[in-house]
Amino acid sequence: MKQIQEAYIVAATRTPVGKAPRGMMKHVRPDDMLAHVIKGSLAQVPNLDPKLIEDVIVGCAMPEGEQGMNVARIGLLLAGLPISVGGVTINRFCSSGINAVAMAADRIRLGEADVMIAAGTESMSMVPMMGNKVALNPAMFQDENVAIAYGMGLTAEKVANQWNISRDAQDAFAVASHQKALAAIEAGEFKGEITPLEVVNRTANLASGEVISKTRVLDTDEGPRADTTLEGLGKLKTVFAAKGSVTAGNSSQMSDGAGAVILVSEKILKQFNLTPLARYVTFAVKGVPPEIMGIGPKEAIPAALKLAGLHQDDLSWIELNEAFAAQALAVMGDLGLDASKVNPLGGAIALGHPLGATGAIRTATLVHGMRRRGMAGQYGMVTMCIGTGMGAAGIIQAL
């Protein structure tokens, strides 16, 4: 039996995240976004020979339409990788990106590969939530199964009710997310992890009949808003329940974006004299009742810590996906998470949540953030809830 070996993250990048469906990246195809971050990740390790890449594993929550046809293989070919490199698209909804990182790391840990790319891509502008054709199993509407069919917002309302998370607490959490994200952008925190993207906008001059093309370089996340206030959020109507507390303002944004991570074995690390950003540690996923899917990280976080032989206090940075303020607060409250360690640069309420890409994007934020802050040797986590009732958590050690 082969001895388990270490897997190291040597590159991590992402696109800026655009708002969907009418934001700055609405016309950027998800396979093009994927190709862009693959090239961007390789640019961080120019000494690495792309021919050594064994496989590209890509998370995508709605793998159809423009992000169908095994978008992983299409994206890697568009990026110019050798024909010999394989590609596979995986789907565990919101955790698809971090699941891709875990699967890529496991191939290396088992000695089956020396170089892997893990990524995620999602255009919610082009392929909406639930996909282009909703075809639910009729059995989902029988009493014993009906919770599977609950919309995400309704599950958030259930969490808010069961955990007594007030509207004021949710709105305050949302404001803090925007404030942290804006401060991070102002401080240039994301510059090292974002690979700027050029987009061409074409408009018609009706008077002359000319088509005017303007090139724009996108290098900043579109979601954070300086005008987000408690007063403003308090005026928003609830959208999922008549007497509820969950609004568009205290929920994650629909988004477009992609991220990519390169993982290598210790042999490759030494052969190409690469500097690791982090060591992959472990990953766990746990199921919870679908009607309270947002509580998923409460089960996944302890499971991942147990696998790693760590305690919660060993975590120095936690990227907890803010699908909804209600579920994030419920998870933090039940586990007693240190709020100062959770999403120090803001979260999905401000920065966006491009579904299957989020895990890869948040991994890029985590490893670069810990490197910038001199947190070598310390542990970080990416965790999120998952539609249909699951939670996932991945752990890395900064180097």
Catalytic residues: 94, 353, 385
At a CB cut-off of 8 Å and minimum separation 6, what does 243 contact? none
Structure tokens at 18: 């655009």
Structure tokens at 197: 């993207």
Structure tokens at 267: 């042999």
Strands (E), the chain: 7-14, 18-19, 53-59, 86-90, 115-123, 197-205, 210-218, 255-265, 278-287, 315-320, 379-386, 390-398
CA distance 164 to 252: 20
Q: What is the DSSP track for 187-221?
A: TTTTTTTB--EEEEEEEEETTTTEEEEEEEEE-S-
Read off the DSSP letter of residue 267. H
**Tokens 């746990």 -> residue:** 286
CA distances to 4, 14, 19, 180, 364 from 269, in Å: 16, 22, 37, 34, 19
Largest CA distance in the chain: 73
User: Can you give 332-361 as a three-state secondary structure string?
Assistant: HHHHCCCHHHECCCCCHHHHCECHHHHHHH
